[in-house]
Every structure is written in C-alpha cells, then in structure tokens.
C-alpha cells in the first residue's frame, strides 16, 4: 500500500463517521474533517509532515505500518480523537503529548500566548507566570518558549493533566524553569508567591451547551475540563475573587472565555474591582481572551 492508496483507504473508511456528529453541519465540513483526520493519522504514523506526505505519495508503507494504520482507523471510528490515537498534537509549533484524561489543545488558545507576548514586549525579561487549569501544560510551555528567561508554575486539580504536563516539560527539557502542583484552583498555592501574570483556560461551557459538543469530546475528552455550571462562569468567578492576592501590583490576568460571554465576564471582573477589563479577539476575530489588571 502506497501513501496515496492509504489516503484513499482512510477517506473511504472514515467517510460516514461524522454523519451523527452534531458539530458537522454540511457535506463539505464532513469531507474536510475526514481529509484532515486521514492526513493527521498518516503524519503521526510515518513521523513526517503533512506536506511531505502529499509530495511523496508513492512511498510504500511497511506491513507493520499498514496494520497500525488500520487499527488507528478503527479507533477513530469510535470517535476517539486523532490526537489521542497518535499520542501527540502541535501547539504553538511545539509537540505536545496528549491522551486520556487531558483536553486536546485547541489553536484558539494560542491567542492567550499572543496577547501575553504583546503585553510583555521584553522577551528576555525574567517573568514568573502561573498557568492555572494547565491541562497538558501547552499554554505555559508556549510561554517558556517565548520568554527564555521566564519561569512558570503549572497548576491543575486532576492528576492525569499534571502527569501530562510533567511529561511535556521533560520532553522539551523545560523542567528546570517550571514547577508543577496539584491544586484545586488556588487552594494549594502560597499567597506569598507573586506572579508577573496569571494565564488560564478554565472550564467555561454552560451545562446546556454540553449536549451540542462534538462526540469525540463528549465520549473521550475529560468533561471536567469543560463544564462550568449553568452560567459557564463558576471558575471565572473563583478567579475574580481570589487571583489578586497572587499577582504583583498592576500585574495582568489573561483568561480564555466563550464567544458569547463578553458582557458577563466584563461585568463580573468590573464588580470585583479589577482594572481595565476588556475582551480581545482570537485569530478568527471571535471574542476569546479576557484581559484585566490588578490594582
């Protein structure tokens, strides 16, 4: 089986998987997602880039590679995320290990790093950041790559994300500039420690919206990384109440929010007497990042 034949076999195999997925609205969307899945799996299998796959379509797969590829396609038919299947994804152009119990990083969250990079114009500054609800650690790791003299404390409530954060830090040789703690929000943090900025992608999906999520999320990804009560803001409320005492004076806070939460989060943080609350767009122009500043 050549790469070209593997591509066509994968497309045929996965052709119907998205018919029952509430996120797929049109045939074009399903075709794009199928193609994306096939190339992602082949890239992970062959350890080469997708452009390389497309330009070297006559390369023959080995018998073991074919067997693994068929197994991976069968797993994808159960809606298991392709990132779980290959065990890795890309975030901020960095390889991030992922698997059961950790949310797959989304490109939208790169907006947090973009805005922090804009705010701290001196990339050689010795900044100390907190990545709260760190999941795979992708956001804090992105910050460590942008600011070579910075340090990051990673915090999450659950042991599996903590384990993946540690694996990713080790893989990228970043352990010496990081600290990883198991903590339910601010519970285990030392209030004497002050950060130059706090960044967080906390759960923010209201209970009512969970039923409309993609089946790969509802069946495989940790729902606790997404659900945030009826309002979708229970974790933002905790951060609004407690984060100030962990920030240096005038230090910023960057939070990911849902596309329809702008008015509510600005009101929430204004009521908690945070300074300069505003919501910044992601790369698609949708409201994505709440910026506020400590007193």
Domain CATH code at residue 232: 3.40.50.150
For 43, the domain range is: 3-78
Give the integer Cα–Cα distance in Å for 162 and 136.
7
Do residues 154 and 240 both lie within one domain?
A: yes
Do residues 177 and 244 both lie within one domain?
A: yes
Quickly tell me which residue has 């796959």 as its tokens.
53
Do residues 226 and 284 both lie within one domain?
A: yes
pLDDT value, residue 227: 87
Domain contains 87: no
Residues 6+ apart with CB under 8 A from 75: 85
Do residues 74 and 14 both lie within one domain?
A: yes
pLDDT value, residue 206: 87
Q: What is the pLDDT of residues 78-92, one digit of tens each?
A: 999 999 999 999 999
Do residues 193 and 259 both lie within one domain?
A: yes
Do residues 165 and 261 both lie within one domain?
A: yes
Do residues 207 and 118 both lie within one domain?
A: yes
Count of structural domains, the chain: 2
The CA-atom distances, in angstroms, between 274 and each of 35, 266, 281 are: 45, 9, 20
Q: What is the pLDDT of residues 223-262, one digit of tens each?
A: 999 988 888 999 999 999 999 999 999 999 999 999 889 9
Residue 99 near residue 222 (C-beta atoms within 8 A): no
Do residues 141 and 19 both lie within one domain?
A: no
Q: Structure pTM?
A: 0.93
The conformational region for residue 239 under phi > 0 = left, psi -120 to 50 = alpha, else beta, is alpha
pLDDT value, residue 230: 85
pLDDT value, residue 19: 66
Do residues 235 and 131 both lie within one domain?
A: yes
pLDDT value, residue 215: 81
pLDDT value, residue 228: 87
Given a cut of 70, the residues of the chain with pLDDT beneath it are 19-25
Taking the mean position of all CA atoms in its chain, how far away is CA 284?
16
């Amino acid at each position: 089986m050549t790469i070209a034949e593997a591509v066509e076999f994968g497309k045929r195999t996965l052709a119907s998987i998205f018919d029952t997925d509430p996120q797929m609205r049109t045939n074009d969307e399903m075709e794009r997602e199928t193609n994306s899945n096939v190339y992602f799996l082949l890239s992970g299998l062959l350890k080469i880039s997708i452009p390389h796959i497309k330009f070297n379509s006559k390369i023959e797969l080995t018998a073991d590679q074919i067997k693994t590829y068929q197994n991976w396609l069968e797993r994808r038919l159960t809606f298991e995320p392709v990132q779980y299947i290959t065990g890795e994804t890309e975030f901020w152009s960095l390889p991030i290990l992922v698997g059961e119990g950790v949310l797959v990083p989304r490109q939208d969250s790169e907006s947090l790093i973009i805005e922090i990079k804009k705010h701290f114009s001196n990339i050689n500054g010795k900044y100390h950041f907190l990545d709260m609800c760190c999941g795979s650690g992708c956001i804090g790791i992105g910050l460590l790559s942008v600011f070579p003299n910075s340090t990051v404390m990673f915090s999450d409530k659950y042991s599996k994300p903590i384990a993946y954060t540690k694996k990713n830090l080790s893989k990228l040789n970043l352990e010496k500039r990081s600290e990883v703690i198991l903590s339910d929000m601010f519970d285990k943090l030392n209030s004497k420690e002050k950060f130059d900025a706090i960044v967080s992608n906390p759960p923010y999906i209201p209970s009512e919206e969970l039923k409309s999520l993609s089946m790969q999320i509802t069946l495989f990804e940790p729902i606790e990384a997404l659900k945030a009560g009826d309002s979708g803001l229970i974790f933002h409320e905790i951060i609004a109440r407690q984060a100030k005492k962990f920030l240096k004076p005038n230090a910023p806070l960057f939070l990911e929010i849902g596309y329809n939460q702008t008015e509510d989060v600005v009101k929430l943080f204004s009521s908690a007497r945070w300074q300069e609350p505003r919501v910044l767009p992601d790369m698609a122009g949708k409201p994505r990042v709440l910026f506020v500043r400590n007193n």
